[in-house]
Amino acid sequence: MHELLALLSDGVFHSGERLGEVLGVSRSAVWKRLLLLEKSTGLRIHKVRGKGYRLEQSLILLDVERLRRDLPYPVVVLGEVDSTNAEALRHLATSMVDEPLLFVAEQQTAGRGRRGRSWVSPYGVNLYLSLLLPVADSSRLEGLSLLVGLAVRRGLVACGYPDVELKWPNDLLLSGGKVAGILLELAGDPADGCHVVVGVGINVNMQGSQAGIDQSWSSLVGDAVQPVDRNLILIAVMRSLHELLSAGAAGRFSACRAEWEAAHAWQGRAVCLSTGPQSIYGVVLGVDERGALRLMCEGEERVYSGGELSLRLSNDS
């Protein structure tokens, strides 16, 4: 199946006869494989008499050899998975993990976001990844999601996206829409050594309307015709994260606090912080050294962190 998809990934027409020759099967078998490919991936294949078959849009598939060569972490590349975070946790349940291990997939069937939301994960379009990270010192967990966000931003800036901004606590924005999100899941006791799964989703080549997304979103490709190379983005982001986690400050957020605040989209803006049934209004002052949000509320500075918090602009309907 992957070989057929690789042949079609350029987005141009290929005759059934030619596909059969390359794959070593009959035209009838090609047709059956195309039907199975559509069903298993959700990709649309255009069929035109006299021309053949092509994907609705061209794809740049994950390049396993390139990723294994250029990534700073060992990587497991999956075709389809329910959730890369879930896969990382399953791996941890059956294996000893002493070093970071990266999981990345072409498609998620049950991608997870914060606050119980689903993460729409079409095949071969975006990046869905989870880094399984051993944590010996629980203080390294403070502000980790913000540190990861900063690493993602650094990687995207290095790839030519200087306008990407951060949004407390776990999002990245581009042109006002969500372009990436982060989900951390903890396994084990922080007081006795544990593991954290760092899940990241980045909208790379997603275009058009998308069922299941209930908020404003954007993607790196924008209105461009040619797709963005997801391998390039993944390598840049992971190298940035590796650099931050290995820095002289031992990967602690406090050393990067000023840089994070400088890239915060809502710094100095009037916002509403929702904590379950309660709504708190204030102006964003920044974050503290642990990554907690600092708000000026009725002339008094207050600090908020943890729990199921949601932040939006106060005039945002």
User: Binding site: what residues are annotated?
Assistant: 83-85, 108, 112-114, 178
DSSP state of 298: T
Instruction: Map tokens 């060569």 to a residue.
Output: 69
32 in active site: no
d(CA 2, CA 79) in angstroms, rounded, equals 9
Contact 279, 86 (CB under 8 A): no
- The one catalytic residue in 153, 154, 167, 178 is 178
Contact 110, 83 (CB under 8 A): yes
Q: Is the dihedral of CA 15, 18, 22, 24 positive or negative?
A: positive
Coil/strand/helix, residue 120: coil
d(CA 208, CA 94) in angstroms, rounded, equals 40
d(CA 75, CA 58) in angstroms, rounded, equals 25
* Token representation of residue 281: 């209004």
- The one catalytic residue in 114, 140, 257, 294 is 114
How many residues can be counted in the chain? 317
49 in active site: no
Please state the residue numbers annotated as binding site for biotin. 83-85, 108, 112-114, 178
d(CA 278, CA 314) in angstroms, rounded, equals 14
Indicate which residues carry an active-site annotation.
Answer: 114, 178, 312
